[in-house]
Structure 1
Amino acid sequence: MRQVIINTQKEGFKATVGLAHSDCMEKKAAPINVTIDKNYDSEFCGSIPLHLVNLIQPHGMLLVVNKTELRVVQASTNVETYLGIPVDDLLEQPLSDYLSAVQYADIQSKIASQNSQAKIPLTLTFTVQDTQRTFTALVHPREEYVLIELEESAPTSGEESFLGLYQQIKYITSLLKQVQSTAEAAQLSADEMKKLTGFDRVLVYQFDPQWNGIVIGQAREADMTDYLGLRFPASDVPKQARDLYFSNPYRLIPTRDYVPVRLIPVINPLTQRFTDLSDSNLRSVASVHLEYLVNLNIKASMSLPLIIDNKLWGLISCHHKSPIKPSYELRSALELLSGIVSVQIASKEREKAILLHAQLRGVHARLLEQLYTSPTFTDGLLYGNTNLQELLNLSGAAVVFEGSIRTSGSTPTNQEIKELVAWLRRNKKDKLFTTDTLPKDYGQSKNYKDLASGLIALPINAEQGEYILGFRPEVLQTVNWGGNPNNAIQMEPDGKTYHPRNSFATYQETVKHTSLPWLAEETEAAEALRSAVLEKIIKERH
């Protein structure tokens, strides 16, 4: 992973930001966790009940059965396409009329024992009018009914046989274990998944703290648009869609031009409500998302979640210029691979955190020794071979204690520090406080944004206005968006119908009044230092 050095022109302050493939990005490109002034996570899009659509995509069929005799109470209208009988003839019929005794017993036992999150595939052969049709089935037991998704089984090539896919997964896993960083893992994943699937473009996204997604890995055909390094607003994957990735191992749209298939009857007879399709891979897609695919100039897509520590960390998104339907076997392999990629990225993130922890512990130990051998804790923190600036990557620091203000490095004036402390007291900042957007939080600080757009405040005695303060200067950071995020959603006059943006041309936004963000490891180091200082003060007074 290359390093981009952002030169803030503040003596003694050098911030290093790791960027994937930074040669494709601006020198001052914003890191993933930069604080962006505007929230692009649309509440409107996030409130749409995507799981209650009563529609599926036509590359499979869906049955809803009761739990006792597995009698069909609801079915998609395309069952005639797959089974050769009208949907009305199938309703109210038990599955035992169509399955062998062995398969019927098998599905009963699976329903009785299966966790609804497990999604274990079955092979079911339906016999209808002496004709046999074999399907891959996914069974989703619910409290009041069972959802069964069926896709026709297709013969697989040697490469997509169990052995062929197993060999591919083992190979990719061995490569992933050799990478040195998250960025390398993302790029390798994109390259190998493109080779494995034949998709025209594979993107690896990482979500920032505000749910905007930045492309950190990409593999593409030469005629496909380059999105590497671009950030996409949170409204592109709204909250409802993000939540569904915990129910679905992948989201496949074989063609954006499909005609949705209805469930009959419309209302589930067992619940008197729409059937919840949260777990369904076949669930139909919102029309606005299909329009989004049109604007991206792609016909088909497949996306897989990257889940780390039970949180949606990012996505792998596959695009194709023409309709494509990966086999069930290949999709299952990709599902497994996305889990492996998640584990490898988590490992790299932990390694990075452990390394930073070790570096900070070393500085902390030296600073602690200095703290206890100096005449006062202020001398120990601000002056000497090791100081607070080195520990927390600061351009300046101040200690406000017992009516005096002592500073080191580049800081606001004493009067400005007094006013800042008064603001901290008014806002009850009696615990460790950090911000990388101080001018936004505290308007008066705009006058010295070059010195203090970032603030870390360690309270010693907040009621008396005694604090240890650390400052970071403004760093103008460029966010490269995939299209203007302010046009991400375009509402119709009716206030209900909306459209996605129709351009993904790079849109540059300069983020002002921000410093480099505070890392979790830095705030932990600050908290440990605060405890040591309080202990030192107590010893000095007694």
Structure 2
Amino acid sequence: MSSWNVSDRALDVSSCAQEPIRTPGAIQPYGLILVLDPQTLIVKERAIAQADLLGTFGDPLGHPIDDVFGGALARCRPALETIKPGTTQFLGAHAIGPHDGHHTLAHRLGDDLIVELEAPVPGEPGSLEDLYPAIRRFMEAIERVETTRELCELASVQIRELTGFDRTLVYQFDKDWNGAVVAEDGNGVLPSYLDLRFPESDIPAQARALYRQNRVRLIADSNYQPVPLVRSAGHAGPGPTDLSPAMLRSVSPVHLQYMRNMATGASMSVSLLREGELWGLISCHNAQPKRVPYHVRTACEFIGQILSLQISLKERAAVVEARIARRAIQVRLLGRMAGDTDFMAALGRDQHNLLALTQSAGAAIVHRGECLLHGECPNRSQVLELVQWLSVQQHEGDLYCTDRLPQLWKPAEAFADVASGVLAISISQIHDSFVLWFRPEVVRTVRWGGDPRKEETGLPLSPRTSFEGWKETVQRQSLPWDDVDRDAALELRTAIVDIVLRKAEEMAALNEQLLRSNKELEAFSYSVSHDLRAPFRHIVGYSELLWASAAERLNDSEKRFLDTIVESAQSAGTLVDDLLSFSQMGRSTMGQISMDMTALVEDVRHKLDMEYAGRSIRWQIPHLPRVQADPGMLRLVWQNLLSNAIKFTRDSAQPTIEVGHERGDTEDVFYVKDNGCGFDMRYVDKLFGVFQRLHHADEYEGTGIGLANVHRIITRHGGRTWADGRVGEGATFFFTIPFVTGDNL
């Protein structure tokens, strides 16, 4: 067999954060631990404080659980066989030889099954029910308190009453994991630590992780002699066993010396968690060694859970109340801004609410070179210099905040009295535009439990020996910004961008649309005054000729006159229809749905069969992706493009029309390619204009409105249109449909 030795090396605080606190290789001497193979329930490791058990029953190593200690644990087998990984189960009390009933727990951790037997404490409660009256009093009392601090004070009194410790305190962590004593109850044997702070290094990160895992931790004697964990030769492994869940797990020697430096003979902690994160500890201390019975610890754990829930509820309620108040302030600010295009002036007219939104003393609004100051804040040149610095800083999203600006940016020392803290939001991606709030320097005194920066020298180990109150004066800092402050600022940013700044974008878009409409109106007016005149002149002229010869029977010429009248009337009718269609396209409502582009193209091609009856056209239509678009409008796009391709391949020997698709980063690109007559690229800019034709009407019929409709429809979908062609070689017409969120896979 072999044992894991507890190191006697010189201790060093720098190594404390790396201490193997989960695998100490030993236990506290108040019981015993057996490590079993979970499949066979054979003991592969043991740590036994009562040496007489080995003489009486022999070494349990290598034996199944049924046979150890004269079969005292045989009735635990069913529970041990079914315990799930990562869980702990209480197995009752078991007498082992002459020793009284041991409180027995089983922990399943990875490939190990740890059976922990803790010796009873003389005079301990027989069950948790004996402690229920004390728990009930605590539950009734918490209903009458209003603040978190009062909750903590109540818990410190109740825990000390249950355990009998000399001092019980509640210890709360800050964002940097420094701890502050917020409540305390004691009998005067140990000094008071109320309102003292303790540095983060006192409880390293790995220790905090264990506090989250194990809600209760007891160290009964800071001078105990650890009992080594012995492993059978047949179960040699690569490293020591993880004893994380075991109450008897031995403690880091650094921590034991820390306790002795505090003149503490025993300690117990109860973890306080808020939404799964470590909020603080109930920390109990005794001048002399002291064991706390299992059922008392269970009651303390229960009280700790109740306290944790109440702290979460109180703090959440306070946050909700604060958010509601800030939301009301924001509504008032938005009311000022409503209907006002100058949001800077609008915000400035309600300075009280602007400052109250983030509980600030001053604010500045910087936009396009202008700077408006409100309340107590740096001067204009200092604010503009600060904005330049902020614009190049790395920060999360569109918000930057700090409560110690002079420490991060040296020039801020010049105005630390009014702006040691700054909270800023960026309101433009183009300009250096910010809204900034300022908080003044708050000089305050912080009482530490000993100088956290003092290095101990000449000692065998480094945990500090002094826990006298040590005062530190904090300067060049403001009150910290909390989540409510930050969220209120971000919500205001969203309001500015969405309600005010977007108005300017909408106005620009409207102006562009008006310019486009004016051009279309001019083209329409020209059409009315020019293109529509000729057909109607024909109607009038040939009608007069007809009437002149009405007395006689119609001859061949008169018939030809009538044919011309009909053709002109039909031309005028077609032109008017196309004009109406074009004008209506800009006013119709779009109803975008997910549509099958392949099926749409095939359907349009089928309906155009009559246009190429008697001709043999080679079609190439691949599978096309689904898009989000207005089906009626997109049908008209394909109808115009395919109809044009059919028309302009009329004189091709082997006409070919190809429909294709390419996928871009933000849009789908579709095209129709033909090998027809093509066009001169010098006139490509005219293609999508109203009544723009590159071929004479005698060669290819049409009104010149079809491609204008295509352009207008695709533009309304947020897409683009363009064309490529060569005279006598064919043409390709392209259009795009932008991706809709979630539709680019």
Match of 1:150 in 2: 117
1:477 is matched by which residue type in structure 2? R
CA distance in 2, matches of 1:132, 1:483: 44
Match of 2:106 in 1: 139
SS of 2:55's equivalent in the other structure is coil
SS of 1:446's equivalent in the other structure is helix
Work out which of the residue numbers 345, 349, 367 in structure 2 matches 1:379: 345
1:450 is matched by which residue type in structure 2? D
1:85 is matched by which residue type in structure 2? G
**Structure 2: segments with no counterpart, 5+ residues:** 1-12, 508-745
Q: Aligned in 2, Cα 1:311/1:106: closer, same or farther, shift over 3 Å?
A: same
Work out which of the residue numbers 74, 77, 95 in structure 1 matches 2:65: 95
1:473-531 CA deviation, whole Å, 9 max, x = no partner? 111121110110113x64779xxx73211111111111111111111111111111101
CA distance in 1, matches of 2:17, 2:423: 33
SS of 1:89's equivalent in the other structure is coil
Work out which of the residue numbers 70, 77, 86 in structure 1 matches 2:41: 70
Work out which of the residue numbers 32, 38, 45 in structure 2 matches 1:61: 32
Cα contact 1:453–1:514 (8 A) shared by 2: yes
Match of 1:228 in 2: 194
Cα contact 1:454–1:472 (8 A) shared by 2: yes
CA distance in 1, matches of 2:334, 2:58: 78
Q: Aligned in 2, Cα 1:247/1:162: closer, same or farther, shift over 3 Å?
A: same
1:125 is matched by which residue type in structure 2? H
CA distance in 1, matches of 2:124, 2:418: 63
Match of 1:538 in 2: 502
Cα contact 1:306–1:339 (8 A) shared by 2: yes
1:33-53 CA deviation, whole Å, 9 max, x = no partner? xxxxxxxxx874322221121
CA distance in 2, matches of 1:443, 1:462: 27
Residue 132 (structure 1) shift: 7.4
SS of 1:365's equivalent in the other structure is helix
1:457 aligns with 2:424: yes
Q: Aligned in 2, Cα 1:464/1:428: closer, same or farther, shift over 3 Å?
A: farther
Match of 2:210 in 1: 244
Cα contact 2:128–2:298 (8 A) shared by 1: no
CA distance in 1, matches of 2:383, 2:70: 80
Residue 99 (structure 1) shift: 7.4
1:33-86 CA deviation, whole Å, 9 max, x = no partner? xxxxxxxxx8743222211210110011111111223111111142534x3537
CA distance in 2, matches of 1:341, 1:270: 44
SS of 2:418's equivalent in the other structure is coil
Match of 1:37 in 2: none
Cα contact 2:267–2:285 (8 A) shared by 1: yes
Work out which of the residue numbers 429, 433, 456 in structure 2 matches 1:466: 433
CA distance in 2, matches of 1:228, 1:243: 25
2:46 is matched by which residue type in structure 1? A
Cα contact 2:124–2:293 (8 A) shared by 1: no
Match of 2:465 in 1: 502
Work out which of the residue numbers 238, 250, 254 in structure 1 matches 2:220: 254
CA distance in 2, matches of 1:78, 1:426: 63
SS of 2:35's equivalent in the other structure is strand
* Higher helix proportion (structure 1 or 2): 2
CA distance in 2, matches of 1:505, 1:341: 29
Residue 241 (structure 1) shift: 0.9
Residues 300-319 of structure 1 aligned to structure 2 (within 5 Å): 300-319=266-285
Match of 2:89 in 1: 120
SS of 1:486's equivalent in the other structure is coil
1:209 aligns with 2:156: no
Which consecutive aligned stretches of 4+ in structure 1 deviate over 6 angstroms post-superposition?
99-102
Cα contact 1:140–1:279 (8 A) shared by 2: yes
CA distance in 1, matches of 2:364, 2:437: 6
1:196-219 CA deviation, whole Å, 9 max, x = no partner? 211110010000111111000100
Residue 170 (structure 1) shift: 1.4
Cα contact 1:79–1:85 (8 A) shared by 2: no
Pick which of 83-92 and 522-531 moved more. 83-92
Cα contact 2:363–2:436 (8 A) shared by 1: yes
Cα contact 2:16–2:254 (8 A) shared by 1: no
CA distance in 2, matches of 1:310, 1:502: 33
1:135 is matched by which residue type in structure 2? H
Q: Which has the higher contact order (CA 8 A, sep 6+)?
A: 1
Cα contact 2:86–2:110 (8 A) shared by 1: no
Match of 1:405 in 2: 371
Cα contact 2:65–2:73 (8 A) shared by 1: no
1:319 is matched by which residue type in structure 2? H
**TM-score of the superposed pair, with normalisation by structure 1:** 0.85
Q: CA RMSD in A?
A: 2.4
Residue 271 (structure 1) shift: 3.4
Residue 190 (structure 1) shift: 0.6
CA distance in 2, matches of 1:266, 1:45: 30
Name the larger-Rg structure: 2
Q: Aligned in 2, Cα 1:465/1:441: closer, same or farther, shift over 3 Å?
A: same
Residue 396 (structure 1) shift: 1.1
Match of 1:36 in 2: none
1:517 aligns with 2:487: no
Work out which of the residue numbers 153, 165, 168 in structure 2 matches 1:199: 165
**Structure 1: segments with no counterpart, 5+ residues:** 1-41
CA distance in 2, matches of 1:533, 1:164: 61
Residues 22-37 of structure 1 aligned to structure 2 (within 5 Å): none
Cα contact 1:367–1:386 (8 A) shared by 2: no
Match of 2:715 in 1: none
SS of 1:85's equivalent in the other structure is helix
CA distance in 2, matches of 1:395, 1:314: 32
SS of 2:168's equivalent in the other structure is strand
CA distance in 2, matches of 1:491, 1:148: 42
Q: Aligned in 2, Cα 1:110/1:379: closer, same or farther, shift over 3 Å?
A: farther
Cα contact 2:128–2:296 (8 A) shared by 1: no
Cα contact 1:98–1:127 (8 A) shared by 2: no
1:477 aligns with 2:477: no
1:80 aligns with 2:43: no
Pick which of 194-203 and 247-256 moved more. 247-256
Q: Aligned in 2, Cα 1:255/1:154: closer, same or farther, shift over 3 Å?
A: closer
CA distance in 2, matches of 1:428, 1:463: 17
Match of 2:622 in 1: none
CA distance in 1, matches of 2:218, 2:149: 25
Q: Aligned in 2, Cα 1:417/1:206: closer, same or farther, shift over 3 Å?
A: same
Aligned positions, number: 492
Cα contact 1:302–1:317 (8 A) shared by 2: yes
Cα contact 1:382–1:397 (8 A) shared by 2: no
CA distance in 2, matches of 1:267, 1:236: 38
Residues 177-188 of structure 1 aligned to structure 2 (within 5 Å): 177-188=143-154
Q: Aligned in 2, Cα 1:373/1:100: closer, same or farther, shift over 3 Å?
A: farther
Match of 1:31 in 2: none
SS of 2:228's equivalent in the other structure is strand
Q: Aligned in 2, Cα 1:110/1:266: closer, same or farther, shift over 3 Å?
A: closer
Cα contact 1:250–1:303 (8 A) shared by 2: yes
1:305 is matched by which residue type in structure 2? S
**TM-score of the superposed pair, with normalisation by structure 2:** 0.63
Match of 1:20 in 2: none
Residue 296 (structure 1) shift: 1.3
Match of 1:355 in 2: 321
1:370-427 CA deviation, whole Å, 9 max, x = no partner? 1215452112222237431121111111111122111111221222112111111122
Residue 177 (structure 1) shift: 2.2
Cα contact 2:216–2:271 (8 A) shared by 1: yes
Match of 1:337 in 2: 303
CA distance in 2, matches of 1:427, 1:268: 60
Work out which of the residue numbers 224, 248, 254 in structure 2 matches 1:288: 254
1:471 is matched by which residue type in structure 2? F
